[in-house]
Amino acid sequence: MFRNYLITAARNIVRHKLYSFINIAGLALGLASAIFVILFIRDETSYDKWVPDSTRLYRLETTSRVPGRTAVDDARVPFPVSAAMQEEIPEVAATTRVIREGITVTVGGRQFPEGVDVVDANFLQVVRLPLVSGDPATVLMQPESLVLSEDTARKFFGNANPLGQSVTVAKASCDKPDGACESTQIALKVTGVLRNLPSNSQLVADVLMPNTSVADTVTQEQKQNWLLPWYYTYVTLAPGADPQAVITKLAPILDRGTTAALRNLQVRIRGSQLYQMHLTPFTDVHLSSARFAENMTPAGTWVTVYGTATVGLLIILVACFNFMNLATARAMLRAREISLRKCVGADRWQLMTQFLGESVLMALCSLALALPIVEILLPAYDRFLERPITFHYLGDWQLSLMIVAIAIAAGLISGVYPALRLSSFRPAAVLRTNSSAQPGSSRLRTVLVVLQFAVSIGLGIATIVVYKQITFARNLDLGFDRSNILVLYAGALTPRSRETLEHTLRSYPGVSTTALSDAVPFQNQGALGLIRLPGRQDMITLNRILIGPDFPHLYGMALVAGRLFSESRDEDTLSDADGGSIFPANEEHNILINVAAAARFGYTPQQIIGKTIRYNRNFVNIVGVLGDIKFDGAREPVKPTVYFNDKSRTNWLSVRLSGKDVPATLHSIDSTWRALAPDTYLSSYFLSDQFGTLYRSDERQGALFGVFVGIAIFIACLGLFGVAAFTAARRTKEIGIRKVVGARTRDILQLLLWQFSVPVLIANLIAGPVAYYYLHRWLESYAYRITLNPLYFLTAGLAALGIAWITIIEHAIHVARAKPINALRYE
């Protein structure tokens, strides 16, 4: 019996080549899409699950609630929190900290700019990363030690054994304000080699260095500051400990630790009100921490996982609907076969088994076509996601079985309704009339076409909106000119050397101007400042950015009222502006603010000029109002900001190039840097390149939607083509009669086009509201965004309608032009 079923199925596939091709090709594309979606979801949900003994390991995160400012979520916490938790909370078994620092490593005269993870000595005992060489308990105990990943060790030393080798680094900072101990060469010994971490990790760990090393760029004073959330902190809890109970016990520790610092700033809140801590399971960090700023590696979201899974499921369903639609339409062609089988004794269960078997066979044929498609496109998929995605049939046997099960399930879903309908034919009625027409079959086909196009149109609308929003964000007036600006990180230089560098670069023909600052667009928003207006008790929190006098000119910032800073006026400078004590030298000195800050104070830009405010504990004067600039692009609203002229702590140097002989200018800049800091690699980038990375994830999402909408429409059109061919053939006699009684070719063509236009129009009515709901929520992640113009929905709908017409027009014209005599002879 099975052999008979198999032969019959093969004959049907070969006999009806068009329908078989449409079904197999459509389902193959759907299965290939599903495989790619599964590979992405597997990668996203596998982050850090390979780290041993991590079931009780958590990452500590913080939400800062500064008065007068919206809450800020940060993946990092202050340095002292870790030790205080371990000493005072019994449920905490162990803690460890890590901070990423940019350090230049010199090996044999070659310089390597490295992101170094500066960690506690017990880091590898708490977070048990796999070591190739070395003991996790001792490998970081020596202050001047270093642990390298396999790739980094090979980059530094080639094929030589790295253990015991030494590298040198430049000490970039110290506790002395004059910088006397800076730029001292320090030798670090390689004591361990770490296995390369896979891409599915929240950690980087290319270079590990203990924070007891004198090469650590964070000063001891900064490490004791409870108001600097700089450190990623990992906590191991005792067995059975409740994370929420630990957070509750942390509150009084925060109150005690921050009391002095907050009182010094005259902030009347407790530490537990300033900081709200969170413990996130180590293996959940990647998908649960997107709202936290400064994650060590880009975070994913469950929304993305669920959204991608939903799109993949919709693509599969579109392919299944396609299969079901054509199989139901073809039921008439198999009416006599089924009736004869029933007459010779076949029962309904046998017929259903046969037809479901045919559907599963076709689905497995589709899988056989889908797998080569995946193999061919997988390298491009890797480049698209910017991560390695692997798939080995035997090595990933569980995934392979899942994919086969999905193919079988798709075959069963696609074939269940046609099997029920085909097996329900009554032999006598079918053999007498040679027809299997049943009420509702055409309505079902219409519903399936509607669902197919609703999915396609919804994805099409999403693609258009994402593209429009990204285009809007890229063309948004940011309030400054980002072109031809080279940004240098000058933190390795002393204040005097930074000023020397600035003035030297200004003398080059290819440099228009330079400016120092402690923040630059798209990179750093600056620190926070506490402002109190005279006569008011409430404290106002604003952004504070330190700038040189030429900063507004270099960035093309508009001066709305007042004047800019001047190099010749001593009162235009402030020293240690964010300190908590009274500095007489700062009294009655001058600051600039932006328009948003003036509005926050309750004044117009013109009214605020000349006003005196209290910044921390110093009275300063407002002498100018700058136009608002969007430091973070379109995502974040403009923040009220105060600008101070304090070059002593400005680590960023912006250089506007004239555009003439740029390579020679860059070479001169590099030569000047090497003369001032021969032991430190120059870290620089073009601001326009940094801007190009702001919306990369959303661009990738839009491109993914574009691919999916193309696949969905192609599958839907395959099905529509098959149904159109079948319908045109079945209506040949009807159309012949219509032409005999006077219908023109144009009338017949309009009739057929309208028949296939109705499902697409209905699909628009379904897709529009659903797309509006989800896209409206997506756009809310942008502070500056487009409106959901009805034209976007109309464009996607008309495009789908046009594609549907193109798909069926050939059949419609062929039938409409047929001679009535040939049509009436049909059948």
Measured between alpha carbons, how far is 246 from 235 in angstroms, rounded to an integer? 10
Judge whether 46 and 425 are in contact, CB under 8 Å. Answer: no
564 versus 542: the higher-pLDDT residue is: 564
Question: Burial, 782: exposed, middle or buried (Cβ in 10 Å; 0-12, 13-18, 19+)?
Answer: buried
What's the token pair of residue 795?
Answer: 């464009």
CA 682 from centroid of its chain's CA atoms: 29
Question: Measured at the alpha carbon of residue 784, what is the angle toward residues 783 and 790, in degrees to the nearest 5?
Answer: 120
What's the token pair of residue 692?
Answer: 């190009």
Give the C-alpha distances (Å, rounded to integers) separating 50 from 196, 199, 295: 13, 11, 19
Under the banding of pLDDT at 50, 70 and 90, the label for residue 175 is very low
Judge whether 703 and 384 are in contact, CB under 8 Å. Answer: yes
Average pLDDT over residues 29-38: 90
CA 276 from centroid of its chain's CA atoms: 25
What's the token pair of residue 588?
Answer: 């009655």
CA 564 from centroid of its chain's CA atoms: 39
pLDDT for 41-57, tens place per residue? 999 999 999 999 899 99
What's the token pair of residue 123?
Answer: 């880091």
Measured between alpha carbons, how far is 746 from 766 in angstroms, rounded to an integer? 30
CA 100 from centroid of its chain's CA atoms: 21
SS3 of residue 710 by DSSP:
helix
Task: List the alpha helices (DSSP H) in 641-695.
Answer: 662-676, 687-692
Measured between alpha carbons, how far is 662 from 685 in angstroms, rounded to an integer? 13
What pLDDT does residue 303 have?
Answer: 83
Residue reference for tokens 């046969």? 354
Calculated CA dihedral for residues 385, 388, 389, 393, nearest 10 degrees: 160
Measured between alpha carbons, how far is 774 from 45 in angstroms, rounded to an integer? 23
Judge whether 307 and 17 are in contact, CB under 8 Å. Answer: no
CA 246 from centroid of its chain's CA atoms: 31
Question: Measured at the alpha carbon of residue 109, what is the angle toward residues 103 and 111, in degrees to the nearest 5?
Answer: 30
Under the banding of pLDDT at 50, 70 and 90, the label for residue 124 is very high
Beta bridge partners of 612: 621
What pLDDT does residue 24 have?
Answer: 85
| Residue 454 pLDDT greater than 70, yes or no | yes
| Residue 778 pLDDT greater than 80, yes or no | yes
Measured between alpha carbons, how far is 672 from 471 in angstroms, rounded to an integer? 38
Beta bridge partners of 169: 105, 186
CA-closest candidate to residue 699, choices 463, 380, 482, 475:
463
Instruction: Report the 10 Å Cβ neighbour count for 226.
Output: 23
What is the pTM assigned to this prediction? 0.83
Q: What is the mean pLDDT of the chain?
A: 83
**H or E stretch at 546:** strand 540-546
The string of DSSP codes covering 375-393 is: HHHHHHHHHHHTS-----T
**Extended beta strands in 670-723, E state:** 683-686
Measured between alpha carbons, how far is 664 from 668 in angstroms, rounded to an integer? 6
Measured between alpha carbons, how far is 734 from 806 in angstroms, rounded to an integer? 23
Least confident interval from 270-284, 387-401, 579-593 = 579-593
- Tell me what percent of the residues of the chain surpass a pLDDT of 90: 35
What's the token pair of residue 776?
Answer: 């409206």
SS3 of residue 789 by DSSP:
coil
CA-closest candidate to residue 495, choices 747, 270, 676:
676
Measured between alpha carbons, how far is 644 from 385 in angstroms, rounded to an integer? 42
SS3 of residue 254 by DSSP:
helix
Beta bridge partners of 186: 169
Cα-atom radius of gyration of the chain, to the nearest Å? 34
| Residue 86 pLDDT greater than 90, yes or no | yes
SS3 of residue 509 by DSSP:
coil
3-state secondary structure 440-498: CHHHHHHHHHHHHHHHHHHHHHHHHHHHHHHHHHHHCCCCCCCCCEEEEECCCCCHHHH
Q: What are phi and psi of 377, to 5 degrees?
A: -90, -10
Judge whether 766 and 450 are in contact, CB under 8 Å. Answer: yes
pLDDT for 358-408, tens place per residue? 788 888 889 999 999 999 999 988 888 888 888 888 888 888 999 999 999
Least confident interval from 445-449, 611-615, 679-683 = 445-449
| Residue 182 pLDDT greater than 60, yes or no | no
| Residue 824 pLDDT greater than 60, yes or no | no
| Residue 133 pLDDT greater than 50, yes or no | yes
Average pLDDT over residues 482-506: 89
580 versus 189: the higher-pLDDT residue is: 189
Least confident interval from 115-124, 524-533, 543-552 = 524-533
Under the banding of pLDDT at 50, 70 and 90, the label for residue 436 is very low
pLDDT for 628-647, tens place per residue? 999 888 888 888 899 988 87
| Residue 192 pLDDT greater than 60, yes or no | yes
Measured between alpha carbons, how far is 23 from 715 in angstroms, rounded to an integer? 9
**H or E stretch at 506:** helix 495-506
What's the token pair of residue 508?
Answer: 């080059």
Measured between alpha carbons, how far is 234 from 59 in angstroms, rounded to an integer? 5
What pLDDT does residue 386 have?
Answer: 81
Exposure letters 746-779 (e unless 16+ CB within 10 A, then b): eebbebbbebbeebbebbbebbbeebbeebeebe
Average pLDDT over residues 788-811: 85
| Residue 272 pLDDT greater than 60, yes or no | yes
| Residue 663 pLDDT greater than 70, yes or no | yes
What's the half-sphere exposure (Cβ side, CA atoms, 13 Å) at 200?
A: 19
Q: Are strands 92-107 and 275-281 parallel, antiparallel or unpaired?
A: unpaired
CA 780 from centroid of its chain's CA atoms: 15
Under the banding of pLDDT at 50, 70 and 90, the label for residue 825 is low
DSSP 628: P
- Tell me what percent of the residues of the chain surpass a pLDDT of 70: 83
